[in-house]
Structure 1
Amino acid sequence: MNVIEDRVAGVLAGAAVGDALGGATEGWTPEQIEERHGGRVTGIVGPFLPDWRTARPIAPYHKGDGHVTDDTLMTHALIEVYAARRTHLDAFNVASDLVPLMIREPRWIPELEQEALILQRVFLAEKWMVARIHYGHVDPREAGVGNIVNCGATMYMAPVGLVNMGDPEAAYAEAIDLAGAHQSSYGREAAGVFAAAIAAAVGPGATVADVMAACVRVAHDGTAAAIEAVLAAVAGFREAGGSEDPRELGRVIRAAVSPFDTVGDEYRAMAMDARLPSRTKSIEELPVALGFVLAHDGDARAAILDAVNYGRDSDSIATMAGAICGGLGGREAVPSEWVSDVAKASRLDLESVIVTMTDVVRDVAGADARRARERASMLEGMLDGALL
């Protein structure tokens, strides 16, 4: 396997596995998770609520049992758009390609256990995108304004990092443009930073430190402050020797991100000002994911499991942590038994998706390289002319 395919495989496998494992614990506290499962989760588990079909009518989804969620559905849909366009994307491609996929192309939805539209699985922030763009005909660059500010756009931005392999700044810029169709404020900002993290992770010889440095370099406002606070807290935790209590790292990270999180401590009983635009706030998921990646030196198994046992928005946190770790370590970094079990349970042809994304990365990288050479030649000629 070549380096590009290995890194693509690591990112997509890590993201899918994190999503599937984290879905089973989403919305609960570490204490509730341990009580439900007789201790910390160490792999694929069943639904938190056995009566999942009726327990939460607003979200009648079969989470757990290796089922991927909307994080993976949207990630793979975006890959389909890249495969069709074979170039860098922007907000207009969300309108022309991604939204139609969401509302016209049935596929197997693991949590619904049936063929359905992506629209019928995604939650309100993603339905907003469809309503604004397809029915409201809003300029795609501005369609995210007014939406719930959350991690909805961030959760599927890994492909943007892959097509900008080794160039975090370019990944950030592309994701910011593309995500404008879905999110605004710190929800859009986090999408850019996560794409930058993936681009940094899959760069030649990249380290965990390189990923963290890239995120700090491109981030702004509350997102930057939240990331820096979490990274500092993790560094302090490690310098102090860590803790024998496996829950303590999660507590340290939660305390660090809490001042920037608008949802509040009661995840299912959000504060009145939750998820509103702000220059001083951040989504919780990305800084937390980065904290687990840093704390475990890019170890995918450890980072994913800590994200799963963190609770709250655990599927998105684990998706991000798994993708970054997979980007750093490649396919071998992600536990193979998890990958095969998740692919089987979700009826996911992950290998085909990996091949498709690898081909896209090669095509886009080749075009980028040709443009870079042409531009360099043009600039050299202009500079030489200026010296005459």
Structure 2
Amino acid sequence: MNTLQDKAIGTLVGAAVGDAIGGATEGRSTQEIVERYDGYVEGIVDYFMPDWRTAKPMSPYHKGEGHVTDDTLMTNLLVAVYAKNRRHLTAFDMADDLVPLMMNEVTWIPELERETVPLLRVFLAEKWLVTRLHYGHVDPREAGVGNIVNCGAAMYMAPVGIANAGDPTGAYAEAVEVAGAHQSSYGREAAAVFAAAVAAAMAPGATVDGVLAAATGIARDGTRTAIEACLAVVEPGTDWREAIPLLRAAVTPFDSVGEVYREPAQDSRRPSRLRSIEELPVALGFLKATGGEARGTVLGATNYGRDSDSIATMGGALAGALGGESAVPADWAEIVGTASRLDLRAGGRTMAAVAAEIFAADQAAWHQRHEAFEALLEDRSGA
């Protein structure tokens, strides 16, 4: 079908499914994953740690079993901001609308198995939004400066790509603006490149090659080099299992976290023009290896480990944008929607309607500019 709505639904369903499946293995190495599950993860699995309630007191999260994580929670909040404003967003909308939702919008948090506000689930890098914008009253356009540089903004930028469907350059510019309230340096850059890739995938007849070209062409500094390195080590048809060590080796020179994911290196997550977040280049690598297949992209990300939920979120979103809702395994979507108590299709329907309104407004604005510019040319020719 591949209509605007179908692609928008596919994007956000793919993102949520990837998030939920990848969440079970987050922070682990491929070896640990294979040992825990007696082989590669092939779908929705139970929690990695049976004692998840007490093993990590700061983050007692019930991962696995179809539970979405903060990636999806933040994505849904951004959809809500678009639904309210129904136009292109700015960093000020993050302060005026997203932050209050984080603080006050009581919702079901699958990993906590209770209703509460999203602020109590998100990671410290996302709590930064509330600290800087609500309590610090920092200019939203600069609030991301000083935060740890990670994928925190990139993981929920898919709606920006939908809002700018077919316009990667516009998506990049809007995401740079929006993500500035949350991230800086290569964290902000990755958010913009991911949004651009989603916008490219939303176009009619979009291909994997076209999406990869859009991402590579628009990315800057270490983000571009890391993407190019990851894409160079896999070919379409590379089995996702074989792609895991290839992609890890390719992204390692650009990843500041280090080999032991839970013990970051001394210079990890600091601003740099040479570094890149790990998640986006690896997600694009799996997308290339699988030819854009959602199942393989998500499973590759899940078994890659490390920040597997965000890698799978980005890969799932891109595969869903390319192929529409039918590209995402329906059995996975049904389980995730039920387990997380979410209507996974609702966000896509909302974003498709908002994107259509944004496009109509853009057309009207362009028409006004065209008339003004034509008049300027006429004045010059008559002078």
Q: Tell me the TM-score normalized by structure 2.
A: 0.97
Q: What is the CA deviation profile of residues 9-37 of structure 1, one whole-angstrom value per residue up to 9, with x for unaligned ones? A: 11011000000000001011111111111
CA distance in 1, matches of 2:144, 2:347: 28
CA distance in 2, matches of 1:16, 1:192: 19
Question: Residue type matched to 1:153 in 2?
Answer: A
Question: Residue type matched to 1:362 in 2?
Answer: A
Name 2:273's counterpart in structure 1. 279
Tell which deviates more after alignment, 246-255 or 182-191. Answer: 246-255
Instruction: Measure how far apart 1:129 and its partner are.
Output: 1.3
Tell which deviates more after alignment, 62-71 or 348-357. Answer: 348-357
CA distance in 2, matches of 1:108, 1:44: 20
Name the SS of the counterpart of 1:108 in structure 2.
strand
Name the SS of the counterpart of 1:365 in structure 2.
helix
CA distance in 2, matches of 1:381, 1:295: 51
The answer as to 2:112 corresponding to 1:112 is: yes
Name the SS of the counterpart of 2:226 in structure 1.
helix
Instruction: Measure how far apart 1:361 and its partner are.
Output: 1.1
The answer as to 2:327 corresponding to 1:333 is: yes
The answer as to 2:251 corresponding to 1:257 is: yes
CA distance in 2, matches of 1:351, 1:262: 36
CA distance in 1, matches of 2:114, 2:128: 23
Name 2:358's counterpart in structure 1. 364
Q: What is the CA deviation profile of residues 74-109 of structure 1, one whole-angstrom value per residue up to 9, with x for unaligned ones? A: 000000000000000011000000000000111000
State how 1:215-226 maps to structure 2 within 5 Å. 215-226=215-226
Question: Residue type matched to 2:359 in 1?
Answer: A
Instruction: Measure how far apart 1:205 and its partner are.
Output: 1.3
State how 1:5-154 maps to structure 2 within 5 Å. 5-154=5-154
Instruction: Measure how far apart 1:282 and its partner are.
Output: 0.3
Name 1:161's counterpart in structure 2. 161
Name the SS of the counterpart of 2:108 in structure 1.
strand
Q: How many pairs were matched up?
A: 382
Name 1:227's counterpart in structure 2. 227
Q: Structure 2 unaligned runs (5+)?
A: none
The answer as to 2:261 corresponding to 1:299 is: no
Q: Tell me the TM-score normalized by structure 1.
A: 0.96
CA distance in 2, matches of 1:191, 1:253: 20
Name the SS of the counterpart of 1:115 in structure 2.
strand
Instruction: Measure how far apart 1:378 and its partner are.
Output: 2.9
CA distance in 1, matches of 2:200, 2:327: 16
Q: What is the CA deviation profile of residues 113-132 of structure 1, one whole-angstrom value per residue up to 9, with x for unaligned ones? A: 00011000001101111101
Instruction: Measure how far apart 1:362 and its partner are.
Output: 1.3
CA distance in 2, matches of 1:96, 1:208: 36
Instruction: Measure how far apart 1:298 and its partner are.
Output: 0.6
Instruction: Measure how far apart 1:387 and its partner are.
Output: 4.0
Name the SS of the counterpart of 1:303 in structure 2.
helix
Instruction: Measure how far apart 1:376 and its partner are.
Output: 2.5
Instruction: Report % sequence identity.
Output: 61
Instruction: Measure how far apart 1:151 and its partner are.
Output: 0.2
Name the SS of the counterpart of 1:342 in structure 2.
helix
Name the SS of the counterpart of 1:146 in structure 2.
coil
Instruction: Measure how far apart 1:375 and its partner are.
Output: 2.1
Name the SS of the counterpart of 2:280 in structure 1.
helix
CA distance in 2, matches of 1:298, 1:379: 42
Change (3 A) 1:273 1:165: same
Question: Residue type matched to 1:311 in 2?
Answer: G
1:379 to 373, 378, 382: 373
CA distance in 2, matches of 1:329, 1:49: 34
**Superposition RMSD on alpha carbons, in Å?**
1.3
